[in-house]
Structure 1
Amino acid sequence: MTRLSQYSEAFWGSSFTSTAGFEALAQRMKDGRHMCKEFEEYLKQRYEAENRYSKDLQKLEKNMKLKEETGVLERSWNKLKEEMEKMVQIHQDAAANFLKQLDDVKKFNEAQTAKKKAMEETVKKYQSNKINLYSRCMNNHKNYKDKCREKDSASDNYSVMRSSVTVQAKDLEKANKAKTKADEDAVKAETAYKSSLDTLESARDLWEKEMQAACDVFQKLDYDRIKFLREHLWVSLNVDSQVAVEIDDCCESVRQVLEHCSMENDICAFIEKYQTGTNRPARIFFEDYYTNTDTMGRRGQRSGGQRSQPPRSNGATMSDNTYATVDDEDGLYATLQSPPDASTVTSFDKLLIISRPHTKQMPCELTVEVGQKVHFVRQMTNGVQVRLAESNKFGIIPNSCIRL
């Protein structure tokens, strides 16, 4: 398995609104800042300790006033006092060294924090914009589907009323206006949906570029931080070695660990433990309502987002001797034709028996009784269109009224 070595390869997510990768990197930056703060505190305490110790040694050296002793013991004592002066200077130098390192770490940490904060704010801005536009796009998608349903419902209602023998002209005109308005609303909803998709894709592209830049910046900051802390920790350990040779074994054991410290290996180890995914979110494409929605057995045909108007056969008008059949050529809209003889009915001549009575509530419906025989014409969104066996009347009844 290939070992990942770049943040930009490992901190994405397949979910369009996922922020897990960015949050993992932001936490990494936060943890790195905390380590720098801890190192600052360590250097501060070491400076204060060395400074206090040098002052205590200096005070002790001034109180060393041997007067009565002579000979070799006197020279030994005087030599000890001389060496004590050197020890004071050594610890003063150590305190100054720790103080300088403390200042360097503070400046480094502040510079890294400023770069990290600026990049985080930029990514969060584009990330928030992407999520808001995604939410708006999904709302437009829902509105688009609702308007398409309303359009189909209005079209079906108009078709049913147009094929009814009892509908009044004003009701038919009202249904036609509702159908026209539903068509216009569906087109507007589709336009808004497509436009929001374009806007969303633009926001996604901007976010991805900023996220890519953030990954590169964060990895560079991480690289610099690891390198900086490794070098300064090494120097501080050298100071300890210079101050006290006796604790050099302890410092050497730490150095042995630091010798194995690699910026690349540390980064790869972090990736292995905290990676959130290698797949970037895919682009969200336009979903055609008529491709993915069952429209009650009809094949939707669309041109520019609108259905074609149903054709009329030879200028036929609504009357008692007209009825609707399915146009076999496009399978979508009904045409008006003169009713054939009962012996010629084949495509919808399936005999059904009424199992539940129904009293018509609308002009396009039929009143039927239990046991009455009807012929199936076609399935509608609001029921079944049938022809009465005894009178050849056409109308709609609920699905629950029939049995084979």
Structure 2
Amino acid sequence: MNNLFVQSNLKNADILSTIGYDSIIQHLNNGRKNCKEFEDFLKERAAIEEKYGKDLLSLSRKKPCGQSELNTLKRALEVFKQQLDSVAQSHIQLAQTLREEARKMEEFREKQKLQRKKTELIMDAIHKQKSLQFKKTMDAKKNYEQKCRDKDEAEQAVNRSANLVNPRQQEKLFVKLATSKAAVEDSDRSYMQHINALDKVREEWQSEHIKACEVFEVQECERINFFRNALWLHMNQLSQQCVTSDEMYENVRKSLEMCSIEKDVEYFVNQRKTGQTPPAPIMYENFYCPQRSAAPLGKVAAPNLARRGPLPIPKSLPEDPGYATIGDYSLLYQ
């Protein structure tokens, strides 16, 4: 530890200046704010992962996907659904892990806040004490300077009254001079006492300031290290999620490699086959002719047509333009 905070915050001629200390406090507050922002980021990422996991779980369990498939492809689809369910669960678990990391960041942030508060209270008190003692010292200095001016005026008045014949007036001037000299001596002692007291306060402030800078620098190093490790761990967790998901998807790919087109087609044929003998041909049956070919096996015999009359003679002859012919599959109409 090089005490960089100390080296950069003691070089100031103004005894009342707290600009160095204030800049450190502002930096620490910004660091605490950054930790809070990352904490909130983890919580929001956890909410996203949880929602994604639950939506994926609902999709896997409620949405049909090739449910009528057979044999090897059916087994591959079952593996697909199982692994998708596992991927969804892993995202929900990741959400819980991220919330735990956010909680750790919050605890670290609050711990540093409490540690800082003790030092800040000491520094606030010493700053007030230094400011108050400086004011007393400056007031004592003003009083001392005023007493010195009063003494000088009294001496000048005595010198001017040397030619006065009134001894009573001279006596008064001498008394005033003596009084002013005593007042100067008292104010000088008081001024020196305040100077000494201010110097002790200054030394105490400097000592406490150095201690505070050392504490704050240690805290800042711890914060940066903790923040860095938290972000590193977050990246590892996301990478592990990708690896876990890929392993589950690989199980699906392996099940698809076991899928056989020939076996699935053969399985369907074996499950749904109706026999190897095709149906018999349909025989021609003349509606008016009692002599006809035997009906195919399993067919009901046609009704007896012997009682029907002979085939009627057409009213139109083949030469008649209104007669329809089908030898060349055409129809002629007048």
Under a length normalisation based on structure 1, what TM-score does the superposition of the two structures give?
0.58
Percent of paired sites with the same residue: 27
Q: Judging by fraction of residues, say which structure has more helix.
A: 2
Match of 1:62 in 2: 61
**Inter-partner Cα distance in structure 2 for 1:47 and 1:186:** 75
Match of 1:205 in 2: 203
Match of 1:188 in 2: 186
Match of 2:74 in 1: 74
Match of 2:301 in 1: none
Match of 1:228 in 2: 226
Shift of 1:245: 5.7
**Inter-partner Cα distance in structure 2 for 1:175 and 1:197:** 32
Match of 1:36 in 2: 35
Match of 2:168 in 1: 170
Match of 1:91 in 2: 91
Structure 1, gaps ≥5 residues long: 247-404
**Inter-partner Cα distance in structure 1 for 2:39 and 2:77:** 40
Query: What is the CA deviation profile of residues 310-361 of structure 1, one whole-angstrom value per residue up to 9, with x for unaligned ones?
Result: xxxxxxxxxxxxxxxxxxxxxxxxxxxxxxxxxxxxxxxxxxxxxxxxxxxx
**Inter-partner Cα distance in structure 2 for 1:103 and 1:132:** 43
Match of 2:160 in 1: 160
Shift of 1:238: 1.1
**Inter-partner Cα distance in structure 2 for 1:29 and 1:79:** 52
Match of 2:151 in 1: 151
Match of 1:7 in 2: 5
8 A contact 1:64–1:81 mirrored in 2: no
8 A contact 2:49–2:91 mirrored in 1: yes
Aligned-residue CA RMSD (Å): 2.0
Shift of 1:201: 0.9
| 1:195 to 1:5, Cα distance in 2 relative to 1, 3 A | closer
Alignment of 1:232-381 (within 5 A): 232-244=230-242
| 1:245 to 1:67, Cα distance in 2 relative to 1, 3 A | closer
Shift of 1:76: 2.6
Higher RCO by CA contacts (8 Å cutoff, separation 6 or greater): 2
Q: Which amino acid aligns with 1:28?
A: H
Shift of 1:240: 1.3
Query: Equivalent residue of 2:68, what SS?
Result: coil
Match of 2:24 in 1: 25
Query: Equivalent residue of 1:244, what SS?
Result: helix
8 A contact 1:150–1:182 mirrored in 2: yes
8 A contact 2:3–2:213 mirrored in 1: no
Alignment of 1:70-149 (within 5 A): 70-149=70-149
Q: 2:214 aligns with which of 213, 216, 223?
A: 216
**Inter-partner Cα distance in structure 2 for 1:167 and 1:49:** 104
Structure 2, gaps ≥5 residues long: 245-334
Query: Equivalent residue of 1:97, what SS?
Result: helix
Higher-Rg member (1/2): 2
Shift of 1:46: 1.2
**Inter-partner Cα distance in structure 2 for 1:142 and 1:46:** 64
**Inter-partner Cα distance in structure 1 for 2:18 and 2:3:** 20
8 A contact 2:50–2:91 mirrored in 1: yes
How many residues align? The count is 243
Query: Equivalent residue of 1:17, what SS?
Result: coil
**Inter-partner Cα distance in structure 1 for 2:207 and 2:24:** 16
- 4+ aligned runs moved over 3 Å, structure 1: 64-67
Query: What is the CA deviation profile of residues 276-311 of structure 1, one whole-angstrom value per residue up to 9, with x for unaligned ones?
Result: xxxxxxxxxxxxxxxxxxxxxxxxxxxxxxxxxxxx
Query: What is the CA deviation profile of residues 205-245 of structure 1, one whole-angstrom value per residue up to 9, with x for unaligned ones?
Result: 11111101110010011000000000011111111112236
